[in-house]
A and B are shown apart, each in its own frame.
Chain A
């Protein structure tokens, strides 16, 4: 049997598949969240050393760092789906991009929120125009722009394509924006460059952080697919299979 790559590109075929996958992703989310939070709270050191020791509050990184990662990855994933939609003209790809955007925006907001709460005890202020937080803020604006443009256009086809183009332009601009915020003075850029290295993180902290990241990935899958199913139903409400679904009242 020849493998049909585009079988699940049809909303009618993907709808039941998504319905079966969602519970799986939710289970994985809950398990990973429980493990990650347990490990983060009880298996890691109570304080981190260094000249300015950080006490219990450093544990906010188990939420903060994974959500910051997710905010950036989800933007790339969203743009990829939008680009695939523009190239192959597949409706489902645009719906996928649209379904991912709110989750990405929420993670961006969460990263900002937890960053502010971490900043209060360690910097003595909620907001310090730290380059990383400022870049997150810019990313948040870009998510908002995407969502706003999509909802402002009534015609679904134009909304999909216009916001896809905006997202691609955004992805091109994102490195420039991040770089300009990170290095406002080109005369002394090297000094400002921030470096972090996964291998230098203590094992227990790293494990908790990666488990939380996995949990957030699964959560993103679950919520995006749920949103996707709603979008499919709304967009395809005139089609035969959705009407049959409504009359039978089945969930699959």
Chain B
């Protein structure tokens, strides 16, 4: 069981790292979106501090969503995906491995770059730590939910824009509590723990149900 998981994970990571630009594209998309906002709304310190958490989270949502299109696309085109459907291994486990690899390549870099973009918005050290932790728990949820949409829109024309229509409304809870945690951490004597508890709860529920739903969607798309 875990052998298969590990095999798919290392395979996807190796494939992606051989074409490193794909990883960098998502990362730089995130950085560019975040950097464009101050140019649009003005560079006053107070405004940026106020907007920072929300902007960073919306940018993370968009970045992870844009990367989703590639989650199954390559395997679909060269027929690997069909072979995966035919194996004896549970499909949801294979899907989970693909999602994990996808998150390591597109979600984790966002978490690591967060301090840098946090500084652009004059966020305090505490807020930056909270943001990193929130992104660390929240971005896997984005990848997990997004995988369902990616599987449903597999091989459709205009798949990317359609995917955003399907998936972005489902990202609302993560956005609300992810950005909420950072906003609250700017005020002294407030408790961020409930936010993390909720985000972690989303992560656990998504870990259980999203791979199953995504593999059901793959079966529908490939039949």
Contact = CB atoms under 8 A, between A and B. Distances in A.
B170 A184 contact: no
Interface stretch (B15-23, B88-96, B124-132, B176-184): B176-184
Given A145-B165, A181-B176, A161 B220 contact: yes
Interface centre among B149, B152, B157 (most CB of A within 10 A): B152
B213 A165 contact: yes
A244 interface: no
B111 interface: no
Interface in A136-168: 138, 141-142, 144-145, 148-149, 152-153, 158, 161-162, 165-166
B136 interface: no
Given A142-B169, A170-B170, A153 B156 contact: yes
Contacts of A187: 184, 190-191, 194
B217 A165 contact: yes
Chain A binding surface, main DSSP class: helix
A145 B163 CA distance: 9
A153 B198 CA distance: 35
Contacts of B168: 141
A51 interface: no
B177 A177 contact: no
A186 B177 contact: yes
Contact of A148 (B166, B173, B176): B166
B81 to A, nearest CB: 15
Interface centre among B149, B157, B168, B169 (most CB of A within 10 A): B169
Given A148-B165, A181-B176, A186 B195 contact: yes
B172 A169 contact: no
Q: How large is the interface on A (under 10, 10 to 19, 20 to 34, 35 or more residues)?
A: 20 to 34
Interface string B197-213: 11000100000010001
B10 interface: no
A187 B213 CA distance: 32
B13 to A, nearest CB: 27
A186 B190 CA distance: 11
A142 B168 CA distance: 9
Contacts of A180: 172-173, 176-177
Contacts of A162: 152, 217, 220-221
A166 B166 contact: yes
A126 B152 CA distance: 36
A184 B176 CA distance: 6
A165 B176 CA distance: 25
A1 interface: no
A45 interface: no
Contacts of B169: 138, 141-142, 145, 177
Nearest to B190: A187
B162 A152 contact: yes
16 contacts: A138-B172, A142-B169, A148-B165, A152-B158, A158-B220, A162-B217, A166-B148, A166-B166, A169-B213, A176-B173, A177-B169, A177-B172, A177-B173, A180-B176, A186-B194, A186-B195
Interface of B: 148-149, 152-153, 156-158, 162, 165-166, 168-170, 172-173, 176-177, 180, 184, 190-191, 194-195, 197-198, 202, 209, 213, 216-217, 220-221, 223
Interface of A: 138, 141-142, 144-145, 148-149, 152-153, 158, 161-162, 165-166, 169-170, 172-173, 176-177, 179-181, 184-187
